[in-house]
Structure 1
Amino acid sequence: MIELERKDYHKALPLLDQVKINTMFAGVVLRQHIPGHVYVDSRENPRAFYVAHPYRMSLLFGDSGDDSFTHGLFDYITNQSAARQQMEWLQADPAGEWSRVIDSMLTSHNDSLENRGLSLEDLENKKIHRNTRVNFSFDRDAYLDAKRNFPRHEEPVVSMTKELFLAQSGSVVPRFFWRDAEHFAEKGVGYSLLQEGEVASSSFSAFITASQLEIGIETADAHRGKGYATSVCSALIDYCLERNLEPVWACRLENKGSYNLAQRLGFRPTVTLPYYRLPF
C-alpha cells in the first residue's frame, strides 16, 4: 500500500462513483473537504484504493489483483507494524472481491492469536471483528405519515450555532466530521434540543453534497429514551425536504438504537454489507 499525495486524490473519484453503497465519508476525504489518508497500489495509475476518514471509518474499493497491495493491506488491517493508534471500521465495495479477501485475512489473523497466551480481553481487542453495515433509503410518505405521531416537547429545538458546535460531547458529534466550527457554520447544518440550557440531543449534517445530506445523531446518556432524538432528526429531515436534499442514514445493524430510530423516521433498510472492526 502506497500513500497517495493529496494532489492526486482526484484519481480515485471515477471508481468511487461506481461504488453502489453510501460512500459520502470517503468522498469528503477525496475532495479534500477534510484531511484523511488514501492508500493505493500505484501512484501513477492506481486501481485499488483504501480511503481512511479521520472518524475511524475506511472504504476499500477497486481492483483486488495486486499482490503487493494485498500484502500491505493485511499488515495494515491487522496492525502488524502498529501503524494505527486507534480502532478503525472498514467496509469494502460489495461488488468486488474485497470482502472475500478480508474474510480470509480475518480468519488467518484471528486464528494466529489463539496460541499467544493472551488474556481474554487482549484477545478480543486484537481480533478483527465482523459486524454488519446497513444502508437505508428514505421514504418521504412514510416519514410524513409517522411525523403526525412524533412526541411533542416543551424543550426548545434550536439551530446549531458555533457555540453549540463546540458544546457537543459524545461519540458522534460534529467536530469529528468538520474541520472546525467555522467550517461547519459555513457549510453544515444541525439542530439541538436544549434541556435547561444544556445540549440534550443533536442532529447534524455529517456530510452534505448538492443533493444529499447524511445525518449524524447524538443524545446525552441522561436524556435517552425521551424521544429527543426523534425531534432533532425530524427538524433536520424537514430542512432537507425544504431544500430538495435526500436525507441519508447508515449505521451498524448491531446499533439497535440507531437502526430502530431510522425506521421510525421513515428510512427503510436496503443494503447490508460486512463491517470490520480493525484492532490497534
Structure 2
Amino acid sequence: MYKLLKKEYKKIQPLLKEVTHSKAIVYATLEHNHDGGIYVDRKVDPRVAFIITKVNYFYILGNADYLPVDFYHFVLNHIQSKSSENEMIVFTYSQHNKVTLDRLFEEKNVITIERVLFRLNNTKFKSVNSITIPEGYEIYSHKDHLNTGDCITEPMNKEQFGFSLYRGKKRISTCYAIFEGGLHVEIDIRTEEPYRNKGFGKMIATLFIEECFKYGLTPDFACWPYNKASINMAKSLGFEEITPCIAHYYSGESEQ
C-alpha cells in the first residue's frame, strides 16, 4: 500500500461519503488534528483507504477487495513498531468489507466485536440537563488552566477542548474531545473512583456539550457493550443508541 503525504489526503474525498459514524475520528486524521496516517491501494483514484489514528483504531473506506492479501501482517507490523499495546481494532462501513476482512483475518487470532454508538437527541439533552456546581468545587477549561497535582491517569492537554471539575487542587472529573474533526467531537468522560455515581461526570459532560453547541460542533459518544456505566451516562445526557458497528479485534496477548 502507498502512504499518502498530508497534502494528498484530499485524494480519498470520494470515499468519505460512507462515513456514517466515528466522523470525528476519521476527519481528525484528514484535517491533521493528530498524528495519524492514510494508506491507499493506488495514488491516483484510490479504491480503498486505510486510516490510522493516534490510538489503535483503524478505519477502512472504499472497497476492501483492493487491500493486499498480506493486510493482516501489514497492520501487525505497524502496531508493533508504533505502539506498546500490541492490539488493533479495525472498523469498516459495509457488510461486504466485513466479509472481506473475515477472509483476510481468517485463522489469525482476530475476532469480531461490537461497539455501541450513540447520537445526541438535542431536545432530550436540553430537557434533562442543568448545571449546579456544588460548594467547594470549581470548573476549569483545559485551555486556561493546568494543574500538575491532579491524579487522573492521563495528563490534561492545554490544547484539548474540554473541561475539568476540581475540588481544591484535585481534579476529580473531566470531559474532553479525544478527537475533533469534520465539525464532530468524540467525547471522553473520566471520573476518579471515589467520586463516581455522584453526578460529577454528567455535570462536566453537560457543560462540554453546551460548549459544543456554541461552536457548531456535534458531540458523538461510543463505548463497549460491557461498559454499562458509560451507556447509562450517555442515556442520561440525552444520547440515543443507534445501530452498533462491528469491528475486527486483535491482541498480541491472545497468542501468548
TM-score after normalising by structure 1: 0.77
Aligned 1:6-21 pairs, distance under 5 A: 6-21=6-21
What SS class does the counterpart of residue 145 from structure 1 fall into? helix
| Whole-Å separation in 2 of the counterparts to 1:234 and 1:168 | 22
8 Å CA contact 1:76, 1:83 repeated in 2: no
User: In the alignment, residue 53 of structure 1 is paired with which amino acid?
Assistant: T
| Whole-Å separation in 1 of the counterparts to 2:182 and 2:248 | 30
The change in CA–CA distance for 1:90 and 1:202 in structure 2 (over 3 A counts) is same
Give the equivalent residue in structure 2 for 1:99.
98
Give the equivalent residue in structure 2 for 1:133.
115
The change in CA–CA distance for 1:99 and 1:174 in structure 2 (over 3 A counts) is farther
Give the equivalent residue in structure 1 for 2:74.
76
| Whole-Å separation in 1 of the counterparts to 2:228 and 2:247 | 15
In the TM superposition, what whole-angstrom CA distance separates every residue of 1:219-247 from its partner, at most 9, and x where no partner exists? 22333222211111011112123444322
Matched, 1:264 2:233: no
**Which piece of structure 1 moves more, 190-199 or 238-247?**
238-247
Pairwise CA distance, 1:79: 5.2
| Whole-Å separation in 2 of the counterparts to 1:54 and 1:80 | 12
Aligned 1:1-280 pairs, distance under 5 A: 1-66=1-66, 69-77=67-75, 82-83=80-81, 85=83, 86=85, 87-94=87-94, 97-110=96-109, 128-147=110-129, 153-154=134-135, 155-161=137-143, 163-164=145-146, 169-170=152-153, 175=157, 181=158, 184=159, 188-209=160-181, 211-280=183-252
User: In the alignment, residue 100 of structure 2 is paired with which amino acid?
Assistant: V
Is there any run of 5+ residues in structure 1 with no aligned partner, and where?
A: 111-127, 176-180
In the TM superposition, what whole-angstrom CA distance separates every residue of 1:179-222 from its partner, at most 9, and x where no partner exists? xx3xx2xxx52111112311111111233357433322222233
TM-score after normalising by structure 2: 0.83
Pairwise CA distance, 1:30: 1.8
User: In the alignment, residue 71 of structure 1 is paired with which amino acid?
Assistant: V
8 Å CA contact 1:61, 1:92 repeated in 2: yes
Is there any run of 5+ residues in structure 2 with no aligned partner, and where?
A: none
| Whole-Å separation in 1 of the counterparts to 2:49 and 2:227 | 28
| Whole-Å separation in 2 of the counterparts to 1:232 and 1:99 | 37
8 Å CA contact 2:223, 2:230 repeated in 1: yes
The CA RMSD over aligned residues, in Å, is 2.8
User: In the alignment, residue 248 of structure 2 is paired with which amino acid?
Assistant: Y
The change in CA–CA distance for 1:194 and 1:50 in structure 2 (over 3 A counts) is same
| Whole-Å separation in 2 of the counterparts to 1:236 and 1:164 | 17
| Whole-Å separation in 2 of the counterparts to 1:49 and 1:24 | 17
What percent of counterpart residues are identical?
21
